[in-house]
Amino acid sequence: MTRQQVRARIEEIGIIPAIRVSSPEDALFAAEAVSAGGIPIVEVTMTVPGAIEVIRSLVANRPGVIVGAGTVWNTGTAKQCMDAGANFLTITGFDPHIVEVANAASVVVIPGALTPTEVMMAWKAGSDFVKIFPCAQMGGPSYIKTLKSPYPQIPMIASGGVNEQNLAEYIEAGVSAAGIGAHLIPRKAIELRQASRIHQLAARCLRIVKEVRTPSTNGQ
């Protein structure tokens, strides 16, 4: 997929499932479960053991899934992830060098930011989205609304504390997508291999996004 297609797909789905587990096997199970549940996007964080090989395997075996690399720490790791086929990179903070490397490779890049200054800097550097992290600790949806007021043109992704209960508020606040981790992919569901539980959570989150967006899509 092209950079533009990946970006459009993320906006369309509105959810980026973040996989933070303790083994490659758990990561593959989580990715397959959430994609089978209707969300064809997964972010494999670099805290997962063997994360780059997990990305490589998913890219090779799940062609319909957009596979991203999360918590990318430096340009060397960014290049390894892109070589493995990652469709997007997310950064917990703002590193202009990683943004530059991703731009050079025409790969979607989503740096983290918190303050208005950081958001502006991340966007001007050439980011596709700006991830507001940690969002809940700063006021959640109300903070997103505050940032969107001066920066309506910047597509933002809420991350940190997003769950099924507050997802609608974040979408209403104007985020392009929300990053959701353990609330969508519970640790217990991974341990017990409860794929159906993850399917149900994925379906509910997708329904929330669709229901919130439908009025603005249909117009008056």
Element (H, E) at 69: strand 66-70
**How many whole angstroms separate alpha carbon 159 and alpha carbon 151?**
18
- Give the pair of three-digit tokens for residue 213: 């967006």
Considering the candidates 32, 100, 131, 191, report the single residue annotated as catalytic: 131
Considering the candidates 11, 12, 43, 148, report the single residue annotated as catalytic: 43
**Which residue carries 């493995």 as its tokens?**
84
Q: Any residues with CB less than 8 A from the CB of 44 and at least 6 apart, and which?
A: 19, 27, 31, 51, 54, 55, 58, 67, 68, 69, 70
Half-sphere exposure of 50 (CA within 13 A, CB side): 12
**How many whole angstroms separate alpha carbon 40 and alpha carbon 27?**
15
In terms of DSSP H, where are the helices of 109-220? Answer: 116-124, 141-148, 167-173, 187-191, 195-218
Q: Is 164 assigned a catalytic role? A: no
Q: Is 32 assigned a catalytic role? A: no
> Catalytic site residues?
43, 131
